Structure 1
């Protein structure tokens, strides 16, 4: 009598990580004129010193004499600032984006059975959806000039030029594309989306996009690069901060810049699949718990069973997900990359 075989259950390995498949460079800011773009100059960071007032909320019981002593004093501070010159009305943000193939293979995995199951999962997704939905959302975010962040809200006109490797160049009206709605399909974005999809599928060996975003904001207007998050360090002997500036802006050799993490955040802000999207109507960056730090909110709490780990553990171990949107979300998290290993049972 032949012995019955019991199929081994696939589990999440203790060592499991994925490299990001959307790899942006840092962004650099230049100044030019909207109707005369032949000349462009790097936008430099400058330091300013100001004599302001203290407008922080008072703490504790309000004591008149203490209030007068603290709030009548001038608030002296130095800070970095960034401006267009008197002959520049347009800011240019330029960066590159590498779309990397190889999603079906983890960068680190200590379980061969899981690696096979995971690879089959990615192949099944590719056969079913072909990365089209994700690619068109990434393309829309690139074409909208979303990476400008605060600079975008100041712009009266936005134009985005995208060079696909050494081939075609496309120009888009960035103000045309919504930031929080991906339900509309834009035909002019299809060549860019198709190129991104081919790289994600592995049909081409990686893809390089060069992106130049032009934003008309007006002569001499302020420009907003990334701000450095400086941790305050105290000297035990001298009660002064090591970092006296109130604002430090990111720059490379003095040229104003945007962190690559911030550009990546803009491109992957495609999550309109989380449970309360219909009430919020705000697209979220792809995150494992749908976390938004500036609002101190979590939109994919594990208790809702819609967080990445809950969905990924099912999909990657041969279970299926009922909702198509959950599959898109899981794959988008894997494209984002990260360390997702499980706990050892020992």
Structure 2
């Protein structure tokens, strides 16, 4: 019989992500068609904007010590077609049966022989209770709201004048939303349309129906023309001097220079602009209002085991309220409680929970 709580977690313990999600591709919406928005690499001559009155010795800018005005850079940009009347961003996702999220569970050299067997049973028991509880429905509703409000559009959302988000299954429309009218900071008063999306998500998590959701947002910026839009930005270590910003895109860069028959090319098309699946997932799982300081901080956090927030550069969960602590108490955790719903969302997120050696 399993203990109410485990003294430690198995030495090898990990959960796979409970949803399959694509990148979100950017398209120009023209009068009668859609065309890809491309990332273009080019040079610019800007101005220096380093605080020369700060501590130059500690500055990350290579030219912090210089008294230069101009700032020559190579950078990536994504802009709409000059005749585009809107931006379309679309991706697909499918939620997996929670029965399949446990990826690895094995003992370390110091683990008791029955720890792994008992812990597997505790995971199975918690998931069975979760599927029958209101907790999985609440978690699904929160994911549905973040689909509807366009949180996943990131910076593009903040500059749009209007946004329509549509959700379809197998080519059939399920719901449409005025994204800017959908609440952004809470999950109260779920609408019927949000509820339909939530039901599809919950069905997937319960293993009843794994239908994929096709999601498209149309963003009107209030004007036409070559407006800059914002795909994911790539992090690159040891960037070449003068290289400012690499953007995420799909496809292969066009070949320039002598290979293209040109002696010189001032721009180079890098690929089809997109938001990375990881960035989408982070936005969709920004549903944690169960952390202790929610009333103080006032905004949902991405579901992270320790409540890590890149925006605030802070951990909002301590040892007693972390997913690692709740993972030790799966046998006694109520899936409909705040702790239980956070744990359901943590299983969907996936990750390594290994307990290591005592």
TM tier relative to shorter chain: 0.7 to 0.9
Match of 1:235 in 2: none
Output one character per residue of 1:289-341: Cα deviation in whole Å (capped at 9) or x when no partner.
Answer: 11112321111122xx2111112211x2x234698111110110011111112
Gaps of 5+ in 2: 58-62, 107-115, 252-270
1:122 aligns with 2:127: yes
1:253-292 matches, within 5 Å, as 253=251, 254-292=271-309
Check 1:251–1:47 CA distance in 2 against 1; reply closer, same or farther (3 A cut). same
Contact 1:161/1:213, CA 8 A, preserved across alignment: yes
Check 1:60–1:299 CA distance in 2 against 1; reply closer, same or farther (3 A cut). closer
Check 1:192–1:70 CA distance in 2 against 1; reply closer, same or farther (3 A cut). same
Output one character per residue of 1:6-28: Cα deviation in whole Å (capped at 9) or x when no partner.
Answer: x5647322121111112211111
Q: Within 2, Cα distance between the matches of 1:336 and 1:21?
A: 6
Q: Within 2, Cα distance between the matches of 1:186 and 1:297?
A: 33
Contact 1:158/1:214, CA 8 A, preserved across alignment: yes
Check 1:68–1:82 CA distance in 2 against 1; reply closer, same or farther (3 A cut). closer
Check 1:47–1:309 CA distance in 2 against 1; reply closer, same or farther (3 A cut). same
Aligned to 1:207, the other structure's residue is in SS state coil
Output one character per residue of 1:174-209: Cα deviation in whole Å (capped at 9) or x when no partner.
Answer: 1221111111221221211111101101122x2311
1:82-97 matches, within 5 Å, as 82-97=78-93
Greater Cα shift, 175-184 or 144-153? 175-184
Output one character per residue of 1:154-178: Cα deviation in whole Å (capped at 9) or x when no partner.
Answer: 1111111111245543222212211
Match of 2:321 in 1: 306
Q: Within 2, Cα distance between the matches of 1:133 and 1:14?
A: 31
TM-score (normalised: structure 2): 0.83
For 2:44, which of 34, 50, 53 is the aligned residue? 50
For 1:248, which of 230, 246, 249 is the aligned residue? 246
Match of 1:193 in 2: 198
1:140 aligns with 2:153: no
Output one character per residue of 1:118-170: Cα deviation in whole Å (capped at 9) or x when no partner.
Answer: 11112122223251101111111111111110000011111111112455432
Aligned to 1:294, the other structure's residue is in SS state coil
Match of 1:238 in 2: none
1:78: how far off? 1.4
Greater Cα shift, 140-149 or 48-57? 48-57
Contact 1:29/1:256, CA 8 A, preserved across alignment: yes
Gaps of 5+ in 1: 1-6, 233-240
1:226 aligns with 2:242: no
Contact 2:92/2:213, CA 8 A, preserved across alignment: yes
Match of 2:96 in 1: 100
For 1:331, which of 315, 333, 344 is the aligned residue? 344
